[in-house]
Structure 1
Amino acid sequence: MSGKAQKSEQKLAWVTGASSGIGRALVHRLLRDGYSVVVTSRNHDKLVDLQHEAAGEGRVIVLDGDVADAEDMERVMAAIEYDHGRLSLVVLNAGIAIPIRGDDLQREAFERTFAVNLGGVVNCLLPAVTHMKAQGHGHIAIVSSPAGYCGLPSSAAFGASKAALINMAESLKFDLDRIGIRLQIICPGGVDTTGAAKLRFPKSSVLSAEDAADRIASGLKSRRFEIAFPRSFAFRAKLMRLLPYGLYFRLLKWLTADKPDVGARAKHAGPDGGSRQAV
C-alpha cells in the first residue's frame, strides 16, 4: 500500500487551543477513539508536553500556530494536507476569556477577544472547508459557550464573540450540509477551567475538563447540531433570554451576586492555556 493511500485512510483530527483545558482533554479522548490528532496552539512547550504525555495513547502531531493569524492557519492546513492527508474532524476550540467591566472599558480586551474567538475560528474554518469540500466530506465542530445565549455580567466581549459563533454556525449549516460537511456547535457550561473562573457565570454544577471532553466526544458521534451541557444549565440560559428585561436583569444579578469581583480574578490568566482557552 502506498504512503498516499495510507494517509487517505487514516482517521485524522485537528484540534485548536489544545495546550490545556478542554482542548487538551479532548485530544486524549480522541486518541482513545482511534484518531491521530493534529494539535495547534501558540504554546509550543505545552504541545510537546502533550505529545509526550499521550505517547502511549496514539499519534499527536504538533503544528504550532496562532489562530488570530490567517496566514498561519493556511500554513497549518497546507502542512496537514502535504504531510498527513485528509482530515476527518476539525474542532475549533481556541478562545480567550477576558472579563469586561462596564465602568472600566478597555478597547484592547474587545479587539483581542474578537480576533481570537471569532476571527480565529474564521481563519481556521476557511481552509478547513476548502479542504473538506475538495474531498467531498468532513466534520467541523465549533466551540462556543452558553454565554452566547444571553448577556452575562463581565462577559461583554466573550459573550458577544460566542453569540456570533452560534449565529454563524446556524447560517453555514445549510450550505455545508449540501456539500457533505457536517457542522456542529459545542456549548460547554460550568467547566472547571481557568477561563471559566474569570467570568461571572450563574451558579451551576462544575464539570472537569475530562468530563467535558467525554460529553463532547459523545456528542460528536451523534447527529445533533448542538452539543450543550450540562443540559439544565443550557436550558436555563436559553430560558432566561425569553424573560422580560426587568425580570431578566434582576434574576442575573441574584444568580451572580456571590461571585468575587472579576478584576481580582484576572491575575490568574495564563499565557496560553488560561487566557487563550475555550470556555
Structure 2
Amino acid sequence: MHMSQELIWITGASQGIGKALALAYARAGKTVAISARHSENLQSVAAEAASLTGRILVLPCDVTDKNQVISSLNQLIEQERLPDRIILNAGTHQAMSARTFSADTIAKLLKINTLGSAIPLEVLLPHYLKQGSGQIAIVASVAGYRGLPTASAYGASKAALINLAESLRSELYSSGVDIRLVNPGFVKTPLTDKNEFDMPFLISAEKAASTIIRGLSGKRFEIVFPTPMAIAMSVLKWLPDRIFFPLINRGTGHGR
C-alpha cells in the first residue's frame, strides 16, 4: 500500500510517545487518527501537524469505555475506512511502595493500562479477523519483565499486556492479523518527568517513535528499546531468584 494511503489509529496520542508517533507518521505522509480523553490536547497535536504532508484526524475517546471505543471506530470507518494499523499506547504510571500498598492503585493502573488496550482489541479484532489482515501493536514496557521495587501496580499492568500480546500472537499466528509487542525502556515524557530517581538509558519520545515505526515495518514480534536497557532487563529476566532479589533490593536502596 502506498504510504499516503495508509490509515493508522493511535491511542494515548495527546502526549509522549503517542504524540511523537502521530507527528512522525504524518511527516511521512500517512493519515493518522489520534485518540485520548481530552479533545483540546488532541487538537494541539493536530495543529502541530498542519504543515506536514500527512493528515491527522482528531478522535476523542476514553479507551476504558467500550461504548466510546465502538463509537470512535464507527466514526473512523464512516469518515475514512477501517484502520490498517492500531497502536494501543494509552497508559499511565504511578509508583507504589509496599508500605503504601493499595488495591485501588492496582485497579486504577489495570483499568487504564491493561483494559485500555483490551477494550479496543475486543472492538477491532473481529474486523481484522473477518478481513484476514491488520496490525495491532500493544505498547507494554520492559518493567513487565520482572517485579521491581515500587512498581507492583505499573509492572503488573504491563506484565499482563506482555502475556496478552504473546497469547494472541501464538493463537493468531496464521490468521493474517499481525500482533506486535512494544516494550520501551525509559522514555522522556510528561509521565517520566515526575520520576524522582535516575533513569538509565533515557531517550527522547521522538527517538522512541522512530524505533517503533521502523520495528512495525519489519518482521520482529517484539520491539524493545533502547538496546542497553533491553540487554540489562533481559539479563535480570533470566537471573536466578537467589541472585535477583537481594541484588535489586540493595541496588535500589531498599536494603539500607
1:235 aligns with 2:231: yes
What TM-score does the superposition give when structure 2 sets the normalisation length?
0.92
Offset, 1:84: 1.1
Structure 2 gaps, min length 5: none
The answer for unaligned runs of 5 or more in structure 1 is: 1-8, 259-279
Cα offset, 1:223, TM superposition: 0.1
In the alignment, which residue of structure 1 is the partner of 2:31? 36
Give, in angstroms, the shift of residue 201 of structure 1. Answer: 7.7
Using the alignment, how far apart are the partners of 2:180 and 2:112 within structure 1? 19
Aligned residues: 250
| Structure 1 position 202, deviation (Å) | 7.5
Written as runs of structure 1 = structure 2, the 5 A alignment for 1:115-264 is 115-198=111-194, 203-257=199-253
Contact residue 12 and residue 37 of structure 1 kept, 8 A: yes
The match for 2:88 is 92
The Cα shift of 1:105 comes to 1.8
2:107 match: 111
Name the CA shift for 1:247/1:222 in 2 (closer, same or farther; >3 Å): same
TM-superposed deviation, 1:196: 2.8
Calculate the aligned-residue CA RMSD, in Å. 1.9
CA distance in 2, matches of 1:199, 1:165: 22
Partner of 1:66: 62
Instruction: Provide the secondary structure at the position in 2 that maps to 1:172.
Output: helix
Q: Partners in 2 of 1:130 and 1:224 — Cα distance?
A: 23
Distance (Å, rounded) in 2 between the aligned partners of 1:201 and 1:169: 30
The alpha-carbon deviation at position 78 of structure 1 amounts to 1.2
Distance 1:69 1:77 in 2: 13
In the alignment, the residues of structure 2 paired with residue 130 and residue 147 of structure 1 have an alpha-carbon distance, to the nearest angstrom, of 30
CA distance in 2, matches of 1:200, 1:154: 12
> Are the equivalent residues in 1 in contact too, given 2:200–2:229 (CA < 8 A)?
yes
User: In structure 1, the residue corresponding to 2:92 is in which secondary structure?
Assistant: coil
Give the one of 73, 88, 102 matched to 1:77.
73
Cα displacement (A) at 1:83: 1.5
- Calculate the TM-score normalised by the size of structure 1: 0.84
Larger RCO (CA within 8 A; separation ≥ 6): 1
8 Å CA contact 1:148–1:166 kept in 2: the answer is: yes
SS of the residue corresponding to residue 178 of structure 1 reads coil
AA of the residue aligned to 1:124: P
* 1:164 counterpart letter in structure 2: A
Distance, in Å, in 2 between the alignment partners of 1:62 and 1:134 is 26
Q: Which residue does the alignment assign to 2:48?
A: 53
Q: Which runs of 4+ in 1 moved over 4 A?
A: 197-203
Q: Residue 203 of structure 1: CA displacement?
A: 4.9
Opposite residue 12 of structure 1, the aligned amino acid is: L
> Structure 1 residue 140: deviation in Å?
0.9
Q: Distance in 1 between matches of 2:251 and 2:14?
A: 32
What is the CA distance between 1:63 and its match in structure 2? 1.0
Question: What is the CA–CA distance in structure 2 between the aligned matches of 1:113 and 1:177, rounded to whole Å?
Answer: 29
> Is the counterpart of residue 23 in structure 1 residue 29 in structure 2?
no
% identity of equivalent residues:
36
- Give me the whole-angstrom Cα distance separating, in 2, the residues matched to 1:216 and 1:165: 17
Please report how far the alpha carbon of residue 253 of structure 1 lies from its aligned counterpart in structure 2 after TM superposition.
3.1
8 A contact 1:41–1:47 mirrored in 2 = yes
